[in-house]
Amino acid sequence: MKKYDKTFPKTNRRACGVRRGLVCIIAIGLCLSKAAALPGIPALNLCPDIIFNHGWQNDSQPSGGAGGPAPGPYLRTAVIPQTGTYINYYVYIPSNYQPGLDWPLLIALHGAAGDPDTAKNYAQDMRDFWSASAEQYGFLVAAPVATGSNGSWLPANLSVNLKQILLDMRADYNIETRRILGYGFSAGGHIMHAIALDHSAIDRMQADKPNSAYFAAYGVTAGVLGGFTCPHPPAGHPDCDSVPLNASRTIPVYQAHGTADSIVPVAYAQADRVGFLNAGWAENRNYWLTLFAGGHTVPASYPAAFWQKLCTATSPP
Secondary structure (DSSP) of 78-113: EEETTTTEEEEEEEEE-TT--TTS-EEEEEEE----
Name the strand (E) or helix (H) holding 135: helix 116-137
Which residues span the domain enclosing 291? 72-313
Same domain, 123 and 161: yes
CA 79/CA 86 separation, integer angstroms? 4
Domain final position from 28, 60, 92: 60
Same domain, 51 and 136: no
Report if residue 66 sits inside a domain: no
Residue 167's pLDDT is what? 96
Residues in the chain: 317
Domain final position from 34, 60, 86: 60
Same domain, 30 and 165: no
Low-confidence ranges of the chain (pLDDT < 70): 1-59, 231-236, 311-317
CA 310/CA 287 separation, integer angstroms? 9
Residue 7's pLDDT is what? 23
Same domain, 208 and 274: yes
Residue 25's pLDDT is what? 27
Query: pTM of the entire structure?
Result: 0.82
Same domain, 234 and 294: yes
Same domain, 3 and 116: no
- CATH number of the domain bearing residue 218: 3.40.50.1820
